[in-house]
Amino acid sequence: MATISSTGLGSGLDVNSIVTQLVALEKSPLKTLVLKATNATNQISTFGQIQSQISALTDVATRIADAATWGGRNATSSNSSVATITVASTATAAAISLDVDQLAQQQTVSSPVMAVGAKPGAGSLTLQLGTWATAVGGAKTFTAAGTTPTSTSVTVTAADTLVTIAAKINSAGAGVTASVFNDGSNERLLLTSKTTGAAAGFQLTSTGAGLSGLVFDEANVAAKTGMAANPVQYSQDAKARINGLAVTSGTNTLTNNIAGVTINLVNTTTTNYGSPGGTTEVKSPITMTIKEDVTPAVKNVNDFVTAYNALNASLAGATKYDAATKTAGLFQGDSSVVGLQNIMRSMISSSSLGASSQRLSDMGLERQLDGSLTINTAKLSTAANNGTTLQQLFTNNNNDPATNGFALKFKAVGRAMLTAGGSVPSKVAALQKSLDANKAAQTSVNDKAALFETRLRARYSALDVQMASLNAMNSYVTQQVATWNKSTA
C-alpha cells in the first residue's frame, strides 16, 4: 500500500510558504530586468519610428534634389480647335502668335468603279514614293524619293480581284495602305500613303492592259485618266508661322521650333475668299501662352517641411525631460540620439552658398523654438515666383556637403546615416543587443531560481524524514517511561 507524504508533516513547518518566499527572493533581480526590458522594447519601437522618418526625409530630399522636379510650366491656346500646346519644364515663359496656313496630309487616290468581284487582268503594278510638285502652268511633276529611287512591284494574276490586289499591295510594304471601297453596287481600289508630308507622295505605274485604270503617274494626272480621273488628295507638309516666322513639318506636330514646346495643329487660321479682283486671304492668328507653374516648387517645400517636422517632433519627444511630471524621454541624455537631433537642427540653420538667397528663412521657412519649421506663406509665394531662386536654395551643387543646397545636404546625410554601418543601423543593433542580453539575464535568473528551489525542497524533505524519526523515538521513550512509572508505583 502506497504511503502519502507531504513536506512539512514530519517537521510541522509550512515548507511550501518558506520555499516560495526564499525562491521569490532569489528571483528579485527579475523586477529590475523586466523594467529594463520594457524600456528597451519601447526604445526599439521609438527608434524604429525615428529610423522610418529619417528614411522618409531622405526620400523627399533625394526627389527634390533633382532639378526636373521643380520646373513647372502652364501653356494655353486661345483656340484649341486650331492648335493645342504642351510644354516641358525647360520652356521659357512667353506669348506665341501662331498662323496655320495648311495642315500636313496624306496622298489619297481611287480607281474607277468596277463590278463587285471583277478581275482587272494580269500584269504588274509598280509603286514608288516621292514628292508631287506643281510646275509653272499648273502641271504636276513627280520626283522619286532618294538619290537612288527604289520601287516596289506587285504581280497581279488574271484571277485577282480588287480585294486580292489590295492584300498584295499591303503585304509588299510599299509605303501605302490599300483598301477596297464598296458603294453598294460597285467597288473601287483606294490607296493612301502611310504617313503625312510632302515626301509621302507616290505614283503607280502598270503593265497589262487590264490594269490601266489603276495607273497614277504624271501622264495620267495631266490627262485625268486612270486613278487621276477621280478626286485626288495630294500629300503635303504642314505650313505655319510662329511669331511671323515660317515653319514646315511633315506632320501636324511642331516639336523642334521652340525649345521645350510641342504644338499640335488641328485646323488652319488662314482662309482664302474669292473676289472679283482675285483671291482675298484672311488671317486669324491665335495666341499660345506659356507661364511658370509654381505648384511643383511649393509642393516640394511643403513635402520637405512635413518630413522634417515629423522627425523633429519624434527626436524632441524622445530626448526631452518633463519637469512637471518629472518624466524623462526614452532617450533623454542618450548621446547618439541627442547628437542626431543636433545634426538635424544644425543643418536647418546652415547656408546654401551660391544661391541668390542662402538660408531657409529667406524663403519663408522659419525655425521655431521647438526646432520645427513653419512656412511664411507670403515670403514663400514671393520666392516661388522669383524664377529659380527657390530651386537653387535646395539643388545648388557646390561639391561641398557643408554648403550644398538643402536637398543635397539632407540626401547625403540621410544616406550616410541609413547605410549599413551608419549611425542609425548601429543604434538599432545596439538596442537589440541590449534587449537580447536582458532576455538572457532573465533566463539565467529563472534557471538559478529553479535549481535553488529544487535544492531547498530536497533539504526540507530530508529534514522531514529526520524529524519524523525523532518524533517516533520521542513517542516511544515517553511511552516506556509511563509504563515504567506505573510498574513502580
pTM check: above 0.85: no
- Listed by start position, the domains of the chain span 1-72+294-489, 73-103+238-292, 108-229
Amino acid residing at 200: A
Q: pLDDT at residue 81 above 80?
A: yes
What are the contacts of 308-312 at 24+ separation with CB within 8 A? Answer: 308/57, 308/344, 308/348, 308/372, 308/373, 308/410, 309/372, 309/373, 310/53, 310/56, 310/57, 311/50, 311/53, 311/54, 311/56, 311/57, 311/344, 312/341, 312/344, 312/345, 312/370, 312/371, 312/372, 312/373
At 489, the pLDDT band (50, 70, 90 cuts) reads low
H or E stretch at 302: helix 295-319
Q: What is the pLDDT of residues 159-187, one digit of tens each?
A: 999 999 999 999 999 999 999 999 999 99
> CA 150 to CA 174: how far, in whole Å?
10
* Average pLDDT in the chain: 87
* pLDDT of res. 472: 65
Nearest Cα residue to 408 out of 389, 399, 395, 398: 395
What are 149-162's pLDDT values in tens digits? 889 999 999 999 99
**What digits encode the pLDDT tens for the residues 36-75?**
888 888 888 888 899 999 999 999 999 999 988 887 888 9
